A and B are shown apart, each in its own frame.
With several copies, the nearest count.
Chain A
Amino acid sequence: MLLAQDLAVFRGEHCVFAGLGFELRSGEVLQLHGDNGSGKTTLLRALCTLLPLEQGTISWRGSALPGARAQYFSEMIYSGHSEAIKSDLSPRENLIAGAALRGSDSIDIDAIIERVGLSDKAELSCRSLSAGQRRRVTLARLLTSHTALWVLDEPLTSLDVHGRALVEALIVEHAKQGGSVIYTTHQPLSLDGCDVRSLKIGL
């Protein structure tokens, strides 16, 4: 589905990585490994076209990216360091607005909120959620649209053990249904029954 060839990204003068390539098929999970500052976030943002490539091409289902952007965006979802949550809205309102923006409407928001363990906070303003509870809202967002590709930057941040188990279950499920996932984390993640590949970034 996703094919990256010979990618190079510069930040300022500094080459973060070069000559990087991989292919991601349906049902596959790819973990990025690398020390702090090795360029994982940079790669993920470049894959989302949020950063310009110095060199190389990214293609989605065979068509190169800047062109196929509309289709690509409707089939991928990115969850980054920042949470994209409106503090003044409740988790439910946030999720509804997010789903509408992605063009998906017939979803069962309640079930999703239940799934991420926010049932009793669904109507509170997100300002009063703790760090981990806010993260759970971003997890719920992944479920509100049926996208093929998930791009997750450190999804375990601030999550407790139940939260980690939830992330593991979500990834495994998504891969089983034929979706693919690229993620990065510094914590061990056990994805049983999944086809996990790993890519090391940095020197």
Chain B
Amino acid sequence: MFQWFHRLAASKNFYRLAEILGPLFGVLGAILLTLGVYRGLFVAPTDYEQGESYRIIYVHVPSAWMSMFVYMVMAFCSALFLIWKMKLADIIAEVSAPMGAAFTFLALATGSLWGKPMWGTWWEWDARLTSELILLFLYIGYMALRASIDNRGSAARAAAILALVGVVNIPIIHYSVEWWNTLHQPASITKFDTPSIHISMLVPLLMMALGFTFFYFTNMLSRARSVILEREANNNWVKDRFRENRL
């Protein structure tokens, strides 16, 4: 098991795997996203309470989920990198950060677009909104730290420490914000928790969520590939591939 893991972690093997999986995930993601968009926008019924504007949910909720999922991936890879010095894990963490930040931003933007018709304001200091905003700061801090350190090895380890410190902090932030918010205000605005969602709305939502996940993996793998090429430009296998024109 461990040996398998190590062989995969060699960038050459990973590169080859990514070459296969990337397009595969890409196709799957594209199918799911098309289906999800179609069913979400045209097939799913209009919400009797919110009208058409609720359809933002098909972008908003998947991106909100992805924003958290990507941070977990990043933190997990950072731990792998710090403990076992797996360079591949560092690469995955590095390329995931901007994508996670983008998902977070998308969740914030769509949520805020949705908030205008729903609550009448672009922004409320609601618990969930606030902790999503802080998550964006964590991503930006992570990327800024990486960008500020010239030496790549040092940058990678410093960023990994920060990601791990952040992962300890995320649940703390989450609960403190929730608690802070309910302390002052009764749950007047938490319309999120409408427990039942109709199946015709749920299916496209899940399709979109899965599609977003595949999109993330496709994009992450292709970014990882280009980083591997950049870092290993001096290695023979890269040179060979370059000569044979199949990068």
Contact = CB atoms under 8 A, between A and B. Distances in A.
Q: Do A and B touch directly, given a CB cutoff of 8 Å in the complex?
A: yes
Interface of A: 10-13, 52, 125, 127-128
Nearest to B151: A12
A127 B150 contact: yes
A13 B232 CA distance: 10
Interface in B99-156: 150-153
A52 B150 contact: no
A112 B75 CA distance: 49
B157 to A, nearest CB: 9
Interface in B150-168: 150-153
A30 to B, nearest CB: 27
A82 B151 CA distance: 20
Contacts of A125: 150
Contacts of B152: 12
Contacts of A11: 151
What does DSSP make chain B's interface, helix, strand, loop or mixed? loop
Nearest to A54: B153
A52 B153 CA distance: 9
Contacts of A127: 150
Interface residues of B, number: 5
B241 to A, nearest CB: 19
Given A12-B151, A125-B150, 4 more contacts: A11-B151, A12-B150, A13-B234, A128-B150
Contacts of A10: 153
User: Which 9 pairs, one residue from A and one from B, show the smallest C-beta to C-beta distance?
Assistant: A127-B150, A12-B151, A52-B153, A12-B152, A11-B151, A125-B150, A12-B150, A128-B150, A13-B234
Nearest to A11: B151
Contacts of A128: 150
Contacts of B150: 12, 125, 127-128
A52 B151 CA distance: 12
A48 B150 CA distance: 21
Interface string B228-243: 0000001000000000
B13 to A, nearest CB: 21
8 contacts: A10-B153, A11-B151, A12-B151, A13-B234, A52-B153, A125-B150, A127-B150, A128-B150
A12 B149 CA distance: 11
A10 B153 CA distance: 10
B238 to A, nearest CB: 13
Interface in B201-247: 234
Nearest to B230: A13
A128 B153 CA distance: 14
A13 to B, nearest CB: 8
B43 to A, nearest CB: 53
A198 B234 CA distance: 32
A38 B90 CA distance: 30
A163 B150 CA distance: 28
A11 B153 CA distance: 9
Contacts of A52: 153
A38 B150 CA distance: 20
Contacts of B234: 13
A10 B234 CA distance: 13
B32 to A, nearest CB: 40
B232 to A, nearest CB: 11
A125 B149 CA distance: 13
Contacts of A13: 234
Nearest to B157: A52
Contacts of B151: 11-12
